[in-house]
Structure 1
Amino acid sequence: MINILVICTGNTCRSPMAEGIIRKLIADKKLDGISVSSMGLAAYYGDTASTYSVDVMQEIEIDIQSHRSKRVLLKDLNEANYIYVMTQQHKNVIVDACPENECKIKVLDIPDPFGRDIEQYRECRDALIAYFSKELEYIIDEQKKEEQKNG
């Protein structure tokens, strides 16, 4: 099982959108053995995704209305095979707390749309789609290589 973890600050904008996008890509490609979750470094447990996040995702027929925020825990980091963070600052916080997970972290450099207009949320969504459309192919290729290596 491949565990993908997407992290932002509050787990109400970027990471829930990314989770929804990855889930859709997985479903569209009919992939098995991949799980995805999103969490925040400073999330309050149980917050809903922001209104604009929900709205821009509905525009592309991805429903994240049931999303509830979660704060990332050490066990979540340790269990993930791939960790995607939105900023270098997010990576720094994680590496300071648990340097052994540094090799699993990729920085996306996607600005926080929180408190901005809906167009910023669309730009964020579109950047996430572009990134994870390619990244999921990389993950699949890496998994195939690992399976071939292990027989």
Structure 2
Amino acid sequence: MINVLFVCLGNICRSPMAEAFFRRLVKKENLSNKIAVDSAATSSWQIGFPPHEGTLNILKKYNISSNGLIGRKLRKEDFRKFDYIIGMDESNIKNIYRITGKSNHPKIIRLLDLTKYRKDVPDPFFTGDFDETYRLVSSGCRALLNKIRWEQNL
């Protein structure tokens, strides 16, 4: 099983949106038996909470299930469990390095570095623009699946 973890600051906006979108994409491509998906936070603020209302509204708008999305904190042992650890912005990447103790490891990737955008996914908790976040996350997730397919011969 290939394990993918999406990470953002609070695990209530960007990373659960990416988890839900990627899970649907994996299912649509009949890869659910080969790829498992999860998400986590670099902070402890929203542990145990469901996604932000804005994320839930976007997922509902695109008919994407939000079942099972509950905030959790990234743990050091996640580095061993996950094959791909995807941060939403440069700050997340630095925090992932700090929490896992693994700097500049190739399994730790900023999501939009896989796309033409090559920038951070803005946090809609602060910008209020969940539509832009969805557009960027969906683009990044498609690119990530292409990367995984190529690297894992799927």
TM-align CA RMSD: 1.7
* Counterpart check, 1:144 vs 2:128: no
**Unaligned 5+ residue runs, structure 2?**
112-119
Q: Provide the C-alpha distance between the structure 1 equivalents of 2:2 and 2:138, rounded to a whole number of angstroms.
A: 20
Total equivalences in the alignment: 143
Query: How far apart in 1 are the matches of 2:3 and 2:65?
Result: 21
Q: 8 Å contact 1:49–1:65 — kept in the other structure?
A: no
TM-score normalised over the length of structure 2: 0.86
Hey, what's the Cα distance between the residues in 1 that align with 2:27 and 2:68? 18
Q: CA deviation at 1:122?
A: 0.9
Give the corresponding residue for 1:14.
14
Of 67, 71, 87 in structure 1, the residue corresponding to residue 73 of structure 2 is 71
Q: 1:61 aligns with which of 60, 63, 68?
A: 63
1:45–1:68 Cα contact (<8 Å) kept:
yes
Largest Rg, 1 or 2: 1
Identity fraction in percent: 29
Q: Deviations over 1:76-101 (max 9, x none)?
A: 12211001001111111222341267
Structure 1 residue 45 displacement after superposition: 2.1
Higher relative helix content? 1
Contact 1:86 1:107 in 2 (8 A): yes
1:149 alignment counterpart = none
Question: Which residues in structure 2 correspond to 1:17-32 (within 5 Å)?
Answer: 17-31=17-31, 32=33
* Alpha-carbon shift at residue 102 of structure 1 (Å): 2.1
